[in-house]
Structure 1
Amino acid sequence: TVNAIGPGPTTTPGLSEADPRSPLDVQQDMSANMPLGRRMEPEELVGAAIYLASPSSSATTGHLLIVDGGWTAI
């Protein structure tokens, strides 16, 4: 079985380092375009990881579990 988590924009040091603008400018630009109204926090991906690692997902196979705060909905 191969499954994956598809995270949306998440607050991490790498995300801020990848953009030359100030972290606050990046945050405001992304938040304005996200249905959630903000970037996600890494802790918000934990539930998806626990599910995919648990016996509860034994029938889940070949799945990309999108956890993106609505990013792909727009």
Structure 2
Amino acid sequence: MNTHPIHVPEEWHDNALLTFEDFCTLIRTPQRTVRDWRRRGVGPRWARFDGTGRLYVRVAEVRRLVASATPTVTKGDR
């Protein structure tokens, strides 16, 4: 199985916002799964603005989530 790491572009500013849909696409995870995470309080912190139904997440939060989910390789793991 060939997996590709999730890459958050360096040029994205930490305070930039991603929509729920963009986030799901970036991490290659079905929306249904991410909705379940949200219901259980798992995953990134979401925000809504001006009472709209749209969910947004900050790029900094995405970076934090990806870093916490990325396994570290030690000498014995190679």
Give TM-score, length-normalised by structure 2. 0.29
Higher percent of residues as helix: 1
Give TM-score, length-normalised by structure 1. 0.30
Higher relative contact order (CA 8 A, sep 6+): 1
